[in-house]
């Protein structure tokens, strides 16, 4: 069974956990098998079940227990990579379709909230994009003009974002964006799937996805699912060795939540134009009286290529306190994983034509809307219906104007193989304190060594089981992270997220136990 996606906890995890679903216990036949129970997988399953399709959802952890539980849950068409760049890469029509699809995704979420009567704090509000100090005003002018060309006619200029005591300067206002509680929303979506005859199975680790007619999903426990189509919605696809992986890069993004007096900060979404960029929203937990939480995120870096979470969180806090005077105590900090594609848009559609296997990946910092777009687009493709977004999001695309970015990402990936010949993080495992891990050189190879809080040492190969890069220790999340394609493993080497499908190889010195004896 999949372990936790990290040691930190988001504010959304403080609600009652989603009901556990039983593991797949016997072979199953379905119209569509969805692998992954995050927002992309559950939305796909929900919309297909509403159309009368027999749907089975498999996940090796709890429902919505992966990256969906670590989002900040902005619902917006204010694309992270900016419309003027999307237009440059995908053309004016591509930018228009991107705006149309993200806007439709927000409307779809709102429709599901109303239809299923889901109490998830869905709320429409304005979003403000303001410049980082020192940035050229031309950036916002270009974005305003490109957004208008993309069909976002409501975008307008504001002299100042509604942040008391901080002068943002002239900025852009985008009306009718939204926010919600992602786990409460997916609790309602999951109920709808099961009401309409769909099946959801947790604690079910998928070991292989085989194309064909029918396609087939095999699991570690033995039972298999045959289906007319398989949707792989596991954040990063586990269904193929290379595929889209060279066209996207994994980043860690950081979040803090600080208490503020109720109504002391304008109810809006806020973004700046800097890099690393920052994003802000409010959340009022149920039962809170007189206070709410200001959620601030950003300070991204490539997965497995830095281990300085404390500094990232401190930078977020400093940025927040310069702009939001009411911010009080920081009550929680967490991180999540973002998959940035080289051309700014998700990959959604058939893995290969005629294979019967479909993927949804490449959230590009827009996971809630991209995940919902995936559900809408895949529903149409699987029902044989035309969808105007299909070409824009098709996984096989290579945008010629993004070739330079593609080359840069792959040079970074290749460069990480130099880790094979470098020294370890420490000279000896004796230097590893309780509760921490480090990579240690042993002869010609490298060992990933973790010392548990009781002092017991657990050793495993440091070689990622995807394409063989050397993993790095993430001291904030207590995980082993791959710097090449973002695979992550828990402290004992059990796979947490793909593209890797198998655990780090245990070494004889390890006393961590096997998969059936995992820590929870």
pLDDT, one tens digit per residue, over 100-141 is: 999 999 999 999 999 999 999 999 999 999 998 888 888 999
Statement: the pTM of the whole predicted model exceeds 0.85: yes
Q: What is the pLDDT of residue 411?
A: 57
Show the tokens assigned to 381. 């493709």
pLDDT, one tens digit per residue, over 223-266 is: 999 999 999 999 988 887 667 888 899 999 999 999 999 999 99
Q: What is the pLDDT of residue 416?
A: 53
Q: What angle do CA 138, 141, 143 make, to 5 degrees?
A: 110
Show the tokens assigned to 253. 């993004």
Show the tokens assigned to 11. 């504010």
Collapse the DSSP code of 123 into the 3-class scheme (helix H, G, I; strand E, B; otherwise coil) and give the result.
strand
Show the tokens assigned to 500. 């890797």
Show the tokens assigned to 256. 């803090």
**How crowded is residue 330: how many other Cβ atoms within 10 Å of its Cβ?**
19
CA distance 73 to 433: 36
Q: What is the pLDDT of residue 348?
A: 97
What mean pLDDT value characterizes the chain? Answer: 90
Show the tokens assigned to 455. 């002092």
**What are the structural domains of the chain?**
122-177+249-341 (3.30.9.10), 421-517 (2.102.10.10)
CA distance 306 to 301: 7
Q: What is the pLDDT of residue 508?
A: 65
Collapse the DSSP code of 372 into the 3-class scheme (helix H, G, I; strand E, B; otherwise coil) and give the result.
helix
| Residue segments in the chain with a per-residue pLDDT below the cut of 50 | 1-2, 510-520
Please, what's the largest Cα pairwise distance for the chain? 65
Among 323, 319, 378, 316, CA closest to 346: 378
Q: What is the pLDDT of residue 478?
A: 95
Q: Count H helices, E strands: the chain?
A: 8, 24
Q: What angle do CA 79, 124, 72 make, to 5 degrees?
A: 55
Q: What is the pLDDT of residue 492?
A: 93
Q: What is the pLDDT of residue 368?
A: 97
Would the CA dihedral through 419, 299, 310, 457 be positive or negative? negative
Element (H, E) at 345: none
Encode 144-169: b = buried (16+ Cβ within 10 Å), e = exposed. bebbeebbbeebeebeebebeeeebe
Q: What is the pLDDT of residue 418?
A: 65
Q: Is the peptide bond before 499 cis (omega within 30 degrees of 0)?
A: yes
Q: What is the pLDDT of residue 28?
A: 96
Residues 300 and 252: beta-carbon distance below 8 Å:
yes
Residues 297 and 279: beta-carbon distance below 8 Å:
yes
CA distance 241 to 249: 15
Q: What is the pLDDT of residue 515?
A: 34
């Amino acid at each position: 069974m999949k372990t936790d996606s990290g040691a930190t906890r988001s504010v959304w995890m403080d609600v009652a956990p989603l009901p556990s679903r039983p593991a797949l216990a016997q072979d199953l036949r379905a119209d569509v098998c969805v692998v992954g129970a995050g927002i992309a997988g559950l939305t796909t399953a929900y919309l297909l079940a509403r159309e009368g399709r027999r749907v089975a959802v498999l996940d090796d952890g709890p429902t919505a227990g992966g990256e969906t539980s670590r989002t900040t849950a902005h619902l917006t068409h204010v694309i992270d990579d900016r419309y003027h760049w999307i237009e440059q890469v995908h053309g004016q029509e591509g930018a228009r379709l991107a705006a149309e699809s993200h806007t439709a995704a927000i409307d779809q979420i709102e429709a599901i909230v109303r239809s299923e009567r889901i109490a998830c704090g869905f709320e429409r509000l304005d979003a403000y994009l303001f410049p980082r100090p020192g940035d050229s005003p031309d950036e916002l002018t270009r974005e305003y003009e490109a957004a208008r060309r993309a069909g976002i006619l409501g975008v307008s200029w504001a002299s100042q974002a509604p942040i008391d005591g901080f002068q943002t300067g002239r900025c852009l206002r985008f009306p009718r964006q939204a926010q919600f509680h992602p786990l409460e929303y997916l609790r309602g979506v999951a109920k709808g799937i099961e009401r309409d005859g769909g099946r959801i199975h947790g604690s079910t680790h998928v070991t292989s996805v085989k194309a064909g007619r029918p396609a087939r999903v095999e699991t570690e426990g033995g039972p298999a699912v045959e289906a007319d189509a398989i949707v792989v919605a596991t954040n990063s696809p586990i269904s193929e060795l290379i595929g889209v992986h060279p066209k996207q890069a994994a980043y860690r993004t950081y979040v803090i939540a600080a208490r503020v007096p109720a109504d002391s900060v304008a109810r809006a979404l806020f973004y700046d134009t800097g890099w690393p960029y920052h994003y802000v929203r409010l959340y009022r937990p149920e039962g809170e009286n007189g206070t709410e939480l200001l959620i601030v995120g950003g300070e991204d870096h490539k997965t497995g290529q830095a281990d300085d979470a404390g500094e990232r969180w401190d930078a977020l806090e400093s940025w927040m306190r310069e702009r939001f005077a009411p911010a009080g105590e920081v009550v929680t900090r967490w991180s999540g994983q973002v998959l940035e594609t080289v051309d700014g848009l998700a990959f959604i559609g058939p893995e290969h034509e005629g294979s019967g296997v479909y993927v949804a990946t490449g959230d590009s910092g827009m996971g809630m809307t991209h995940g919902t777009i995936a559900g809408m687009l895949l529903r149409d493709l699987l029902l044989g219906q035309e969808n105007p977004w299909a070409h824009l999001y098709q996984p096989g695309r290579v945008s010629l104007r993004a070739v330079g970015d593609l080359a840069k990402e792959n040079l970074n990936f290749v460069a990480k193989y130099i880790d094979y010949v470098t020294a370890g993080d420490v000279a000896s495992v004796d230097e590893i304190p309780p509760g921490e891990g480090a990579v240690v050189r042993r002869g010609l190879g490298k060992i990933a060594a973790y010392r548990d809080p009781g002092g017991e040492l657990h050793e495993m190969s440091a070689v990622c089981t995807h394409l063989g890069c050397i993993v790095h220790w993430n001291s904030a999340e207590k995980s082993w992270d791959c710097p090449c394609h973002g695979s992550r493993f828990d402290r004992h080497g059990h796979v947490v997220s793909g593209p890797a499908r198998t655990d780090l190889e245990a070494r004889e010195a390890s006393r961590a136990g096997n998969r059936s004896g995992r820590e929870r």
